[in-house]
Amino acid sequence: MREAYHVELENLATRLAEMSVQVADAMERATKALLESDLKLAEQVISDDRLVDDARADCEEQAYALLALQAPVATDLRIVLAAIHAAESLERMGDLALHVAKAARRRHPDPVLPANVQPYFADMGTIAVRLARKVEQIIKTRDVEAARSLEDDDDHVDDIHRHLFSVIMDKNWEHGVSTAVDVTLLGRFYERYADHAVSVARRMVFVVTGRMPGYSSSDA
């Protein structure tokens, strides 16, 4: 049983790594669509989201098969359940990229963001995409320490997100309520994406090493 279990777990981890690449690409394109009012790119993210949903369903099926056929216990069981949770979070990251792309499409050909907040979104986008790409690396390298660095990236996104509120709420904000609402929701989408990425990374460390990284496991 052990060998078949490990082969199947390896396949499942590979599939989750592919999902990480999908949602990293989705957020990279969605951010570019947002910053450059690129309708074609936004449409691509929107139509590709189906592939992320399909990949999540595949991952769940692989995990179900693994549970049903191998009936793992103890740590092995928890590893498979961590993979199921990771797939759910990755799908949610895809949804958040989709929301960003939809905002870009909704305002097209106008830009969604005024020039003075664009750099914040460029930064949050870069970090969010890097977080998702690190998940793939963690699976390839099984590097627990690499996973720790994700917490710093997530803190950085939180800092930018907080600062963004002070920009919107400043008395000198001159872009009106409607733009403030867009910026508020978009900021939240990036912040949630980064949170989910950290949660996925933590779970993937467990999937590939059988040990949880030594920090809080909260992923609310």
Provide the minimum distance between the beta carbon of 141 and a copy of itself in the complex, in angstroms, as a whole number.
28
Peptide bond just before 111 cis, omega within 30 deg? no
Provide the minimum distance between the beta carbon of 170 and a copy of itself in the complex, in angstroms, as a whole number.
9
Residues 46-85 that bind a copy of itself (CB under 8 A): 53, 64, 67-68, 71, 73-74, 77-78, 81, 84-85
Member of 116, 165, 210, 215 binding a copy of itself (CB under 8 A):
165
Member of 102, 107, 156, 188 binding a copy of itself (CB under 8 A):
188
181: contact with a copy of itself by CB under 8 A: yes
Residues 9-48 that bind a copy of itself (CB under 8 A): none
Region of 39-47, 111-119, 147-155, 178-186 interacting with a copy of itself (CB under 8 A): 178-186
Provide the minimum distance between the beta carbon of 218 and a copy of itself in the complex, in angstroms, as a whole number.
8
Comparing CB distances to a copy of itself, the nearer of 4 and 181 is: 181
Q: Which pairs count as long-range contacts for 200-203, CB under 8 Å and 24+ apart, including other chains?
A: 200/16, 200/20, 200/86, 200/89, 200/90, 200/93, 200/135, 201/131, 201/134, 201/135, 201/138, 201/147, 201/150, 202/147, 203/82, 203/83, 203/85, 203/86, 203/89
Binding-site ranges for a copy of itself (CB under 8 A): 53, 64, 67-68, 71, 73-74, 77-78, 81, 84-85, 88, 91-92, 95, 165, 168-169, 173, 176-178, 180-181, 184-185, 188, 218, 220
